[in-house]
Structure 1
Amino acid sequence: MRIALIGAGSWGTAVAGLAAQEASEVRVWAHEESCAAGINTNHVNPGYLTDYTLPENVIASSDIVWALKGADGIIFAVPSMHLRSVAKAARHDIAPDTPVLCLTKGIEPHTGLLMTEVIGEEIGHPERIGALSGPNHAEEVCQGALSAAVIAAEDPHVAAFFKDVLISPAFRVYVSDDITGVEMCGAAKNIMAIICGIAAGSGLGDNTLALIMTRGLAEISRLVHARGGDPMTCMGLAGMGDLVATCTSEHSRNRMFGVAFAQGVSLEAYQERRHMVVEGAAAAMSIAELARSLDVDAPLTFALDHILWHGGSIAESLEHLTDRFPTSEFYGINE
């Protein structure tokens, strides 16, 4: 069995290693030729997870046609801002019945589309596209730390296929049919992680972080419900599980950006320094836009969007949030 892994960032690299345990060959597409050369020569990605040695059956190229040729399954792991263009470039080399799994988390600006929907628009046959999400830091997964994820797909055979490819004693895989809920959770939790980072970087304590996480989970549940997903998904791996990991871990680029931002580091400077995309920053803009279009109350998302993209201050946004009068704890979910 051959798996094509489109994207050679940290998560794509870790998942390539997982897939290599079951597949006879994993072909990785890397945007940079130097990245592909490092994987092929030293079995190490020179840009990400540089302490991790990939299995020998993981090979790479900057030629996407080569990576896709003869693939029995395809996994997309590119940043959300590049997903559409990469899927478009790959469309003519993907057979209509090849199962596809999306690791990318986010909402497309202006369209409000989920990442699987973006891929589906470009390559067709969206029913064969699934999404994976959960509390998984690549730095721990690649070292064999016990972890778990959920794969959601409209077609149960797609979920079962990728479950068989990725599951191991250390990486537990559950399945779901709620693609909308799983993807909305995966995108929105990055927003809450940045806010938790800002709170921590501003010197606020554990009570505040618990408040942000729990009210953030309620906000995500309202968004999931309005978008047509199941709010119960927010209680699982893609929701609460990923939220806890992303809001508390030193591996979380979203949380760590929030800490740096509170200390005066700009988004542009942070991304350039870390050579990583802060997905929650883009999600703040696109999910705020989506929430307004769906008439969903999303105060935390609106606050971060205002701070990052509209010149608002942290103090101003905190004052606005604390001026709100608390109402029913779970409003907007079962209405």
Structure 2
Amino acid sequence: MTGLVSPAVDEVVLWARTSQAVDAMNLEHRNPNHLVDYTLAPNVVATSDLAVAVRDVDAAILATPSAYLRETCRNLASHLAKNARVLVLSKGMERGTHLLMHEVAAQELGNPTRVAALSGPNHAEEICKGMVSAAVVASEDAETAAYFQGLLSGPTFRAYVSDDVRGVECCGAVKNVVAIACGIASGMGMGDNTLAVLMTRGIAEIGRVVAALGGNPMTCMGLAGMGDLVVTCTSEHSRNRSFGRALVAGETLDAYQARTHMVVEGAPASESVLELAQERGIEVPITAGVHSVLYEGRPIDEAMEGLLTRVPRTEFYGMEERDTASKENQC
């Protein structure tokens, strides 16, 4: 993300938790923990002081894992200018509240119109190499979306805008769960047909959740939906997919995260999305299957068999009906 933003601004300040990371980035212009071969731009500096990081900034970009976003925003609130715009990269849905990440940020930081969310098929490993990528910036406020569109757009990165922030965020949360399922299928030696089934049925599942939350199911056909789902379910860079494969090989969630130093966002998302689905009566068989394997002790083979033996229904059930109901409830 710094590579996209740095050409458009005077200075980018990174906030890091450890002094070791700060020293490495300031002295060597490299992150010692992630993308270690990537050289940071000259106008990128790092600090471990959150107040210093956001002092007098025009905008803040939050890439905190979803489980820590509320705490980070709470600590940030007193230091961030009231008119500074905020872009949320975190993907997920908060347990208990079922709030999406832009809602968590807005709740803690105030002024919801300044908050936007970014989602799309854009692995950092490829963006850093200048490979062509794209994403969608969604916000309730058109000016906020346009601001970040201008900030991020460049020769190799296309940023589109949307006002369906709930749909965009929901796609970003649920696709990680589907990617774990695809990783499991891949690890079990299942073929391309099986992966295609999981991805397309995954889009249908995402669409039902989007509609229930008042979003537009058509968003699922775009960059935040199908675009991000394809890359997350198939790419070697996808932590959710690779975790699914590791799970089949016998590695636990904790062991995988400790080994890779990365958070598998699809794991907590399976909990929060399943909670929401059970409360609202939404069918989410892939999410339920992943959750049963991760948290209920269900054998992987049994969970996959449960998905394959479900009685087929019409292909896109539960979308338009849910969308209509959601709009009526909002009136």
* Short-chain TM bin: over 0.9
2:305 & 2:34 partners in 1: Cα distance?
39
2:37 & 2:286 partners in 1: Cα distance?
36
Give the match for residue 289 of structure 1. Answer: 275
- Residue correspondences, number: 321
- Is residue 208 of structure 1 aligned with residue 212 of structure 2? no
- Is residue 252 of structure 1 aligned with residue 238 of structure 2? yes
1:294 & 1:34 partners in 2: Cα distance?
46
Matching residue's letter, 2:187: G
- Where 2:298 maps in the other structure, the secondary structure is coil
Matching residue's letter, 2:232: T
* TM-score of the two chains, using structure 1 as the length reference: 0.95
- Where 1:93 maps in the other structure, the secondary structure is coil
1:17 & 1:36 partners in 2: Cα distance?
17
Q: Contact 1:198–1:262 at 8 Å: present in 2 too?
A: yes
Structure 2 residues without counterparts, runs of 5 or longer: 322-331
Instruction: Give the share of equivalent positions with the same residue, in percent.
Output: 53
Give the match for residue 77 of structure 2. Answer: 91
Give the match for residue 141 of structure 2. Answer: 155
Give the match for residue 80 of structure 1. Answer: 66
Give the match for residue 163 of structure 2. Answer: 177
1:294 & 1:63 partners in 2: Cα distance?
42
Matching residue's letter, 2:219: T
Tell me how far 1:319 sits from its aligned partner. 2.2
- Where 2:60 maps in the other structure, the secondary structure is strand
Give the match for residue 276 of structure 1. Answer: 262
1:47-62 alignment, distance < 5 Å: 47-62=33-48
2:296 & 2:18 partners in 1: Cα distance?
33
- Is residue 41 of structure 1 aligned with residue 20 of structure 2? no
Question: Which among 214, 226, 236 is matched to residue 228 of structure 1?
Answer: 214
Q: Contact 1:17–1:58 at 8 Å: present in 2 too?
A: no
Tell me how far 1:323 sits from its aligned partner. 2.3
- Is residue 143 of structure 1 aligned with residue 129 of structure 2? yes
1:163 & 1:52 partners in 2: Cα distance?
24
Question: Which among 297, 311, 315 is matched to residue 311 of structure 1?
Answer: 297
Once the two structures are superposed, residues 98-133 of structure 1 have per-residue CA deviations (whole angstroms, 9 ceiling, x without a partner) of 111100000011110000111111111112100000
Matching residue's letter, 1:316: E
2:105 & 2:316 partners in 1: Cα distance?
33
2:7 & 2:295 partners in 1: Cα distance?
42
* TM-score of the two chains, using structure 2 as the length reference: 0.96
1:91 & 1:276 partners in 2: Cα distance?
26
Tell me how far 1:315 sits from its aligned partner. 1.4
2:307 & 2:178 partners in 1: Cα distance?
14
- Where 2:7 maps in the other structure, the secondary structure is coil
1:37 & 1:161 partners in 2: Cα distance?
31
Question: Which among 189, 192, 195 is matched to residue 178 of structure 2?
Answer: 192
- Where 2:179 maps in the other structure, the secondary structure is helix
Once the two structures are superposed, residues 238-283 of structure 1 have per-residue CA deviations (whole angstroms, 9 ceiling, x without a partner) of 0000000000000001000001101111101100000000001111
- Where 1:297 maps in the other structure, the secondary structure is coil
Give the match for residue 24 of structure 1. Answer: 10
Q: Contact 2:66–2:90 at 8 Å: present in 1 too?
A: yes
- Where 1:175 maps in the other structure, the secondary structure is strand
Tell me how far 1:205 sits from its aligned partner. 0.6
1:280 & 1:111 partners in 2: Cα distance?
17
1:231 & 1:58 partners in 2: Cα distance?
38
Q: Contact 1:223–1:291 at 8 Å: present in 2 too?
A: yes
- Where 1:88 maps in the other structure, the secondary structure is helix
1:224 & 1:16 partners in 2: Cα distance?
30
Give the match for residue 326 of structure 2. Answer: none
Question: Over the residues paired in the alignment, what is the CA RMSD in angstroms?
Answer: 0.7
Question: Which among 90, 94, 97 is matched to residue 111 of structure 1?
Answer: 97
1:99 & 1:173 partners in 2: Cα distance?
17
Q: Contact 2:56–2:81 at 8 Å: present in 1 too?
A: no
1:165 & 1:257 partners in 2: Cα distance?
33
Tell me how far 1:33 sits from its aligned partner. 1.7
Matching residue's letter, 1:175: V
Structure 1 residue runs of 4+, over 2 Å off? none
Give the match for residue 4 of structure 1. Answer: none
Give the match for residue 3 of structure 1. Answer: none
